[in-house]
Protein backbone atom coordinates (compact mmCIF):
# COMPACT_ATOMS: atom_id res chain seq x y z
CA UNK A 1 0.00 0.00 0.00
CA UNK A 2 1.18 3.55 -0.68
CA UNK A 3 2.58 5.85 1.98
CA UNK A 4 1.02 9.31 2.36
CA UNK A 5 2.49 12.33 4.17
CA UNK A 6 0.63 14.70 6.47
CA UNK A 7 1.84 17.92 8.10
CA UNK A 8 0.40 19.89 11.04
CA UNK A 9 0.48 23.69 11.44
CA UNK A 10 3.28 23.16 13.98
CA UNK A 11 5.39 21.52 11.27
CA UNK A 12 5.08 17.94 12.49
CA UNK A 13 5.13 15.56 9.53
CA UNK A 14 3.93 11.98 9.72
CA UNK A 15 3.63 9.16 7.21
CA UNK A 16 0.55 6.97 7.03
CA UNK A 17 -0.45 4.00 4.91
CA UNK A 18 -3.81 3.86 3.14
CA UNK A 19 -5.15 1.79 0.24
CA UNK A 20 -4.49 3.42 -3.12
CA UNK A 21 -6.92 6.28 -3.76
CA UNK A 22 -8.38 6.22 -0.25
CA UNK A 23 -6.06 8.66 1.56
CA UNK A 24 -8.04 11.44 3.28
CA UNK A 25 -7.07 15.10 2.82
CA UNK A 26 -6.81 15.60 6.59
CA UNK A 27 -5.95 13.34 9.54
CA UNK A 28 -5.44 13.86 13.25
CA UNK A 29 -1.89 13.73 14.62
CA UNK A 30 -1.49 14.08 18.39
CA UNK A 31 -4.78 15.95 18.64
CA UNK A 32 -3.96 18.34 15.76
CA UNK A 33 -5.44 18.37 12.30
CA UNK A 34 -2.81 17.61 9.67
CA UNK A 35 -3.18 18.32 5.97
CA UNK A 36 -1.93 16.03 3.26
CA UNK A 37 1.56 17.17 2.21
CA UNK A 38 1.73 16.59 -1.54
CA UNK A 39 5.18 18.15 -1.83
CA UNK A 40 6.64 15.70 0.70
CA UNK A 41 5.02 12.76 -1.09
CA UNK A 42 6.28 13.66 -4.54
CA UNK A 43 9.41 15.61 -3.79
CA UNK A 44 12.96 14.39 -3.73
CA UNK A 45 14.81 15.67 -0.66
CA UNK A 46 18.31 16.94 -1.37
CA UNK A 47 21.05 15.45 0.73
CA UNK A 48 24.65 16.51 1.10
CA UNK A 49 26.55 15.33 -1.96
CA UNK A 50 23.43 15.36 -4.13
CA UNK A 51 22.21 12.02 -2.80
CA UNK A 52 25.20 9.98 -3.97
CA UNK A 53 26.00 7.21 -3.33
CA UNK A 54 22.62 5.51 -3.16
CA UNK A 55 21.33 1.96 -3.12
CA UNK A 56 18.98 1.31 -6.03
CA UNK A 57 16.19 -1.11 -5.18
CA UNK A 58 14.63 -0.87 -8.66
CA UNK A 59 17.65 -2.40 -10.40
CA UNK A 60 18.39 -4.97 -7.72
CA UNK A 61 18.44 -8.73 -7.96
CA UNK A 62 17.62 -11.53 -5.52
CA UNK A 63 20.08 -11.70 -2.58
CA UNK A 64 21.53 -15.00 -3.80
CA UNK A 65 22.39 -13.32 -7.15
CA UNK A 66 24.36 -10.42 -5.59
CA UNK A 67 27.74 -12.05 -6.27
CA UNK A 68 26.81 -12.73 -9.89
CA UNK A 69 25.78 -9.10 -10.41
CA UNK A 70 28.95 -7.81 -8.76
CA UNK A 71 31.01 -10.05 -11.06
CA UNK A 72 29.11 -8.89 -14.16
CA UNK A 73 29.84 -5.25 -13.33
CA UNK A 74 33.54 -6.04 -12.72
CA UNK A 75 33.86 -8.05 -15.93
CA UNK A 76 32.23 -5.23 -17.97
CA UNK A 77 34.57 -2.60 -16.49
CA UNK A 78 32.03 -0.87 -14.25
CA UNK A 79 32.99 -2.02 -10.73
CA UNK A 80 29.90 -1.61 -8.57
CA UNK A 81 29.27 -2.55 -4.97
CA UNK A 82 26.15 -4.69 -4.52
CA UNK A 83 24.46 -4.88 -1.11
CA UNK A 84 23.81 -8.21 0.57
CA UNK A 85 20.16 -7.70 -0.45
CA UNK A 86 21.24 -7.65 -4.13
CA UNK A 87 20.89 -3.90 -4.75
CA UNK A 88 23.59 -2.02 -6.70
CA UNK A 89 25.10 1.02 -5.00
CA UNK A 90 25.70 3.79 -7.53
CA UNK A 91 28.28 6.45 -6.70
CA UNK A 92 27.41 9.14 -9.27
CA UNK A 93 25.05 9.82 -12.17
CA UNK A 94 27.77 8.74 -14.62
CA UNK A 95 28.39 5.51 -12.73
CA UNK A 96 24.67 4.77 -12.66
CA UNK A 97 24.36 5.41 -16.39
CA UNK A 98 27.23 3.03 -17.21
CA UNK A 99 25.89 0.32 -14.89
CA UNK A 100 22.42 0.53 -16.42
CA UNK A 101 23.89 0.33 -19.93
CA UNK A 102 25.82 -2.83 -18.99
CA UNK A 103 22.56 -4.53 -18.10
CA UNK A 104 20.55 -3.11 -21.00
CA UNK A 105 18.24 -1.18 -18.68
CA UNK A 106 16.49 1.99 -19.78
CA UNK A 107 15.91 4.84 -17.32
CA UNK A 108 14.57 8.17 -18.55
CA UNK A 109 16.68 9.98 -15.92
CA UNK A 110 19.99 8.39 -16.83
CA UNK A 111 20.08 6.30 -19.96
CA UNK A 112 17.83 5.18 -22.75
Give the span between the Cα atoms of 44 and 71, in whole angstroms. 31
Overall average pLDDT of the 96-104 stretch: 92
Distant-in-sequence, close-in-space partners of 9: CB < 8 Å, separation ≥ 6: 32
Give the whole-number percent of the chain exceeding pLDDT 70. Answer: 88
pTM of the model: 0.56
- For residues 100 and 111, the answer to whether their CB atoms sit within 8 Å is yes
User: Using 50, 70 and 90 to split pLDDT, how confident is the model at 99?
Assistant: very high
* Overall CATH class of domain 3-42: mainly beta
Pick from 108, 105, 46: nearest CA to 76: 105
Distant-in-sequence, close-in-space partners of 57: CB < 8 Å, separation ≥ 6: 87
At residue 82, the pLDDT reads: 96
Please state whether 41 falls in left (phi above 0), alpha (psi between -120 and 50) or beta: alpha
Residue 107 has pLDDT above 90, yes or no: no
SS3 state at 23: coil
pLDDT mean across residues, the chain:
87
Amino acid sequence: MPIYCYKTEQGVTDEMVFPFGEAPETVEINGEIALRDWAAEHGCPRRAGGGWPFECLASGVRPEQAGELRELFRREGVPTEVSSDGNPIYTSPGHRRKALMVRGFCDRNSYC
